[in-house]
Structure 1
Amino acid sequence: MLSLLDLPRELYLIIISHLQPTDLTHLAGVTQDHYLAAQEPLYTDVKITAYSRFVKLVDTLRKVPVVSTISPQQRLRWFKLSDAQLRERDIKHLSLVLDGSVDGQRITGAALSNCIGAVARKCDNVKIHLTLNGGWPRWMSQLEKFGLSNVTELTLILDEAELELDGSWRWTATSPLWDLLFCGSSFADLKKVYVNTRKGNQQTSLQDSVGRAQSHYDSPVAKATSKPAVPFYGLRRMEEVVIAHSQHLTPNVMGTLFGSDIIPQCLTKLEIVDCPSLHALGHLTAIAILLHRALQLVKHLKLHLCRLVSRSSDSEVLSHQYTHKLDEHPEEHPCNIVRELGKRIQHLDLALPFVCSNIFPPRSKISNVFADKPDYPTIARNPVDTLPGRLQAVGYKYRRLICWHGICRDAHKWHDMRESATSIEEDVSWELIMGKHMGSWHVGGCLPVRFHADDELSRPFTEAEMEV
């Protein structure tokens, strides 16, 4: 009767790769041959959720498993491997989740840097996803001296209240946070960043997110004028950047990130969601610069500006102010920028205070009377959470446009927007939402599909949020 160990090593590893870590642990306890054979898959993907366990992992990696020479049975099939190779524990992916409320008093920047460095030296090609929950103000700034190698993904769920209690943590364009993330020295291998400064109030839907985020132009943070002193060279390696609910993402910071001479050539995904310091009227220049660069670089762009709040809370006053701003600087009109530069982007998700039909390409004046009568899209809209992925899988470009207040300059009505969206190219899909009113889904060459805006606003406000 054949055993699993009688199989060639490649087949053995494929089979046991489908086992859970607990099952692999049980398999390793069957015989010494299985113990050696299970070392590689057991340590390929490791997830640690406590600092004490991380220290134990580092100690384990430093020790070679003590096992007698492999048996002739295993050597028969895996004769090319030495004992040292079979005992090697080579981590490919390490997910490390640390909570400030649990481990905040125990960790220093030097200790974390030493532990991660030990893993990186033992496992040359390890990719580390580091998740930090909490403020961490006492030691995060220490990373400027030590740095964390092999951290390719970083998720920061920061507690804004904790950060403000620490006097040494200054939320400015030159604060340690932005330098740590993007200067390129503290995180030398960083490629993906997710930052959210609303711990304990994580939003599960777009509607919840919007209800808590409103933009006041008279905010002191919004008028900050300091400029970063350190160039963000780390942007050259960035592939994904997601910043959500951070009132300290000021126009100066955003200008340095996406308007400087350092071009993030590798960036494919950018999401800026509900950052109230970005005001659609007061900071229209910074927003225009962001759209100009991002639409030409990334494949996935989500820009959700907050609802505008004026002292009078009058939408007509806001509309008049927005119109005056566009009259002074027509080159900064977001709708025109999207129409001119957004043709090639695969995923575009915008939430703007005012929109107009200029965001769509001009309608064709030539009509084909012999064309077949259009029908509804063959692809199902539900479930809406997976619609962007399903559309792109079959070759469509996904677009979503949310309008908070009204039409730019009152040039037309909302039904004119729907008519403009109906005449789009065949490989493009648009979802249009006007506040809490009815929405419509437009697929090139098909009849529009109406839906309630509440259904759309129940979707997750950002994809990365659902993965944390």
Structure 2
Amino acid sequence: MSQFDREPPASLATLPTEIALCALARVSRDIYAAVQGPLYRRPIINSYRKLQAFIKTLNYVASWDKKTGDAKSKKIVHLALMIDLAKEESTAGRPLIAVILARMIRVIARYNEHVTISLIIAHSACDAQPVHSFESEEFPRVTTLILDLGGESTTQSSSPSGARSINSVVPVRRSIHQRNYSFSTSGNRCVPNAKFWTRFFSGTNFPDLQRLELHHRSRTGPSYGESGVEGHRILFTELDTLGLARIERLVVNSVPEFNDSVLMAGLQHAPLLTDLHIENCSVTYDALDKLLLHALPVLHRLVLRVSPQSRFARYVREALNVRGCQPHHEEIPHLCSHFRRRGKNLKHYDFAAPFICRDLFLDEYEKAKLHESRHPGTLAGDDSGMVVQGEMDTTLVVGVLKRIRQTRDTDSLGQKLLEGTSMEEDKKILERERSIRTGRATIEKEGWTRRLHALDGMCIPGDTFEELTGLANVEEHGIGWTLGSLPERRAFRVIGELVEPIRYSHEFEKDRPRRARQVERDLNDELVGQ
């Protein structure tokens, strides 16, 4: 090995910042005082033992104002607290209870009045510590709460030593290194109920909560569409939902306690909600129809992933294809058309469902113009309302749509000028044109995205996946589209007029329904980042 192949000797500059600061802190008292700020501004604690040591340090250096009684310690701006309950229980031999966790968080909040805390708990369960005791405690300054509720709790008899009572609830969690495990949940409590949600929505237990994520995954898949689950009506009082006024982000992933009534309560009492994720939950298409109607104009990001086993999706598909037999007063909750009509202002959306179709791209005016162009197949059905099967000629449709969208606003403006307009109307027209230009510039600058995934096929027989890529090609300039089809295992990325095939497995593999024998990856890797 030559001298040029040797690695350079370690120096202070090559060490992690925290190690360097700790080394400097030992030089003198002045330097020690100077480096305390950077060391404690944004700490990350990933175990209960480290949390205990952290609290001990805060108590040791705390100072008190005798007049006001206020306490001060290390200056903390944001604390990330990540607790893996499976690891903690295997180490300590007992579960971490809510009262201890809440007490330590209150100590941190007392020393730092404006601190924000992200609390991430992995390998927990709905009816096990600490989650089932959240309603008895207060967790101030926790602005982000992420819970992995994939464990199962059982009631065990007392141990030979008598350390546990006969009726104690002991969470049974897998080891993080275990390969074969059961990851189901108790069927007694994992059903829609108000008590589960009140601890998060009331503002009493988490008074500063802004971002809430609940992941309730299991090997057997979500409980989507189980008999009677979506029919559980949950009634909230006004006090039960006061905390929703501060919620900005809500993620519910395969949560059995989530259904139509919980969704409607969230919509009514969460005016600041701009980021919503609903994945594989037991929510009917009627409720999702109302969600898209009321929430799309205010949301910035929406992730909606409907389970491949959703019987609601299959019912809607059947209804769409026998429209002539439907009562005139019955409106089919077709989600694709809702995205088109009211999803224009969404910066990002991710829509995965058993069936999607061209209505994501076309409104009624454009359908009528396409019908006049005599393209193969029809979008509205024949005179009796029955759908006429047949593939759309994508080239023809793209050409017609480009002409329609280029001349639609121009024709409207020209007609108004011919009819004569007042100065006030002229101002409105100019303002509208300015708004359109500003919107296009914003889209391109912020990089808006759309992600579509057909898990089973198209809403209408005769529709093809290629049609979607052609229609995405003529959407607003600057929006990036990613489209995937599970049956065909194909995927495309469309940006402007550029259409490129991409590897389906890289972009959409995580959306596929898991097989029963497939071992689920460690959720701690995803939630905690280890």
Normalising by structure 2, report the TM-score: 0.64
Identity %: 23
Distance 1:214 1:90, change over 3 A: closer
1:58 to 55, 59, 75: 55
SS at match of 1:154: strand
SS at match of 2:139: coil
Residue 91 (1) aligns with residue 76 (2): yes
Tell me which amino acid in the other structure corresponds to 2:470: E
Q: Take 1:168 and 1:274, find their aligned partners in 2: how far apart are those partners?
A: 18
Q: Is the 8 A contact 1:169 1:175 kept in 2?
A: no
Residue 399 (1) aligns with residue 418 (2): no
Structure 1 residue 467 displacement after superposition: 6.0
Tell me which amino acid in the other structure corresponds to 2:152: A
Structure 1 residue 106 displacement after superposition: 5.3
Stretch deviating more after TM superposition (334-343 or 228-237): 228-237
Tell me which amino acid in the other structure corresponds to 1:101: A
After superposition, the C-alpha distances for 1:313-372 in whole angstroms (9 at most, x for unaligned) are xx998842564699564362111111111111110110122222111143344498xxxx
Residue 184 (1) aligns with residue 233 (2): no
Aligned residues, how many? 387
Residue 451 (1) aligns with residue 502 (2): yes
Q: Take 1:422 and 1:215, find their aligned partners in 2: how far apart are those partners?
A: 37
1:418 to 469, 481, 505: 469
Tell me which amino acid in the other structure corresponds to 2:120: T
Distance 1:126 1:192, change over 3 A: same
The equivalent of 2:493 in structure 1 is: 441
Q: Is the 8 A contact 1:173 1:227 kept in 2?
A: no
Structure 1 residue 188 displacement after superposition: 0.4
Distance 1:34 1:163, change over 3 A: farther
Distance 1:39 1:223, change over 3 A: same
Q: Take 2:99 and 2:455, find their aligned partners in 1: how far apart are those partners?
A: 46
Q: Take 1:367 and 1:337, find their aligned partners in 2: how far apart are those partners?
A: 19
Q: Is the 8 A contact 1:169 1:176 kept in 2?
A: no
SS at match of 1:243: strand
Q: Take 1:228 and 1:65, find their aligned partners in 2: how far apart are those partners?
A: 42
RMSD: 3.6
The equivalent of 2:233 in structure 1 is: 225
The equivalent of 1:239 in structure 2 is: 248
Structure 1 residue 35 displacement after superposition: 1.4
Structure 1 residue 395 displacement after superposition: 3.8
SS at match of 1:33: helix
Q: Is the 8 A contact 1:320 1:409 kept in 2?
A: no
Q: Take 1:51 and 1:466, find their aligned partners in 2: how far apart are those partners?
A: 17
Structure 1 residue 410 displacement after superposition: 2.5
Distance 1:305 1:39, change over 3 A: same
Q: Take 1:194 and 1:112, find their aligned partners in 2: how far apart are those partners?
A: 19
Residue 159 (1) aligns with residue 157 (2): no
Distance 1:355 1:233, change over 3 A: same
Structure 1 residue 215 displacement after superposition: 6.6
> Any gaps of 5 or more consecutive residues in structure 2?
1-11, 64-71, 157-168, 170-185, 367-400, 407-441, 513-522
Distance 1:458 1:30, change over 3 A: farther
Distance 1:456 1:159, change over 3 A: closer
The equivalent of 1:380 in structure 2 is: none
Distance 1:21 1:132, change over 3 A: same
1:196-207 mapped onto 2 (5 Å cutoff): 196-198=215-217
After superposition, the C-alpha distances for 1:351-394 in whole angstroms (9 at most, x for unaligned) are 122222111143344498xxxxxxxxxxxxxxxxxxxxxx9774
Stretch deviating more after TM superposition (284-293 or 227-236): 227-236
Structure 1 residue 103 displacement after superposition: 4.1
Tell me which amino acid in the other structure corresponds to 2:136: K
Residue 39 (1) aligns with residue 30 (2): no
> Any gaps of 5 or more consecutive residues in structure 1?
1-14, 67-86, 202-211, 369-390
SS at match of 2:460: helix
Q: Is the 8 A contact 2:316 2:334 kept in 1?
A: no
Tell me which amino acid in the other structure corresponds to 1:137: A
Structure 1 residue 198 displacement after superposition: 2.7
1:169-180 mapped onto 2 (5 Å cutoff): 170-180=189-199
The equivalent of 1:303 in structure 2 is: 304
The equivalent of 2:265 in structure 1 is: 256
Distance 1:289 1:160, change over 3 A: farther
After superposition, the C-alpha distances for 1:19-65 in whole angstroms (9 at most, x for unaligned) are 53233222211222221212221111112222233223222212237
Q: Take 1:189 and 1:318, find their aligned partners in 2: how far apart are those partners?
A: 40
